Amino acid sequence: MSRWPLIAKSPPTQQERHYRLYKEALSIESGRRCVYCGITEAEFGGLRNFHVEHYRPKSRFAALANDYDNLFFACGICNVFKGDDWPGDPDPSNNAIAYPKPSNVDYNSLFSVDDGGAVSGRNPAAVYLIERVHLNRAQLIVSRRFEKALEELSAFLDWVHAFRPQYQGREGDLERLLHLVVQLAQYQVRITQARPYGPADQR
């Protein structure tokens, strides 16, 4: 799954009275990742470390405080950095200083990720977002490097398997090595999909 999936808003049929009650639905809808930095629940200590984020801050847009369309899933760090900041409405070209809405804009199109895992913005809105929410935090750099390495490893393993007949007597060793590498990759994928805490922690 992409680090920044475009969020398809799917409001629960039952309308809740308070935005906090939407946390689980928002987590599912975002692939259990922060919509801004892409960190997973498993990487960042579980659901309790994530907040219900008000895209338009509730301090300025009180009428939208419990409006599902205005709510997103964000890690506590991004949520606090963004805070009550609202520089203005976004424009479709992202040339204005504003927050692109995660349900309208594919965040992958906003950023370039270099080989070292750092992101840079492709337009003024993206540059602002990176600076304001600190999207080059040390943990995010490591997380993005790791995901990139896993993607490369997956492609490399396919290539290695294609040359299997040329191993010349070391098949057993190479198979063991490949098995270990595949196991490590699978464990990491399972970790990023896991939920560290149970339903009791949903609020």
**Which residue ranges make up the site for Zn ion (CB under 5 A)?**
34, 36-37, 75, 78
- Taking the least distance from each CB to Zn ion, the nearer of 37 and 105 is 37
Give the single-character DSSP code of 196.
S
Provide DSSP, 141-161. HHHHHHHHHHHHHHHHHHHHH
Query: Quick one: tokens of 7?
Result: 């969020």
Structure tokens at 38: 């892409």
**How far is CA 61 from its chain centroid?**
25
Nearest to 28 by CA among 77, 92, 86, 71: 71
Q: For Zn ion, which is the closer residue by CB, 7 or 37?
A: 37
Residue number with CB closer to Zn ion (56 or 177): 56
Distances in Å between the Cα of 105 and the Cα atoms of 8, 76, 80 are 11, 22, 22
Least distance (Å) from Zn ion to the CB of residue 3?
11
In the complex, the smallest distance separating the C-beta of residue 74 from Zn ion, rounded to whole angstroms, is 5
For the CB of residue 86, give the shortest distance to Zn ion in the complex, in Å.
18
Handedness of CA 95, 97, 98, 103 (dihedral sign): positive
Q: List the structure tokens of 72.
A: 């997103």
Rounded to a whole number of angstroms, the minimum distance from the CB of residue 177 to Zn ion is 35
Nearer to Zn ion, 34 or 47 (CB): 34
Residue among 41 and 187 whose Cβ is closer to Zn ion:
41
Q: Compare residues 101 and 178 and give the one whose CB is closer to Zn ion.
A: 101
Apex 5 CA angle, 3 and 6, nearest 5: 150
Beta strands in 58-157, from DSSP E residues, in sequence order: 71-75, 111-113, 119-121
Rounded to an integer, what distance in angstroms lies between the CA atom of residue 83 and that of residue 54?
Answer: 9
State in angstroms the smallest separation of the CB of 24 from Zn ion.
18
Asked if 176 and 23 count as a contact pair (C-beta separation under 8 A), the reply is: no
Q: In angstroms, what is the minimal distance from the CB of 128 to Zn ion?
A: 16
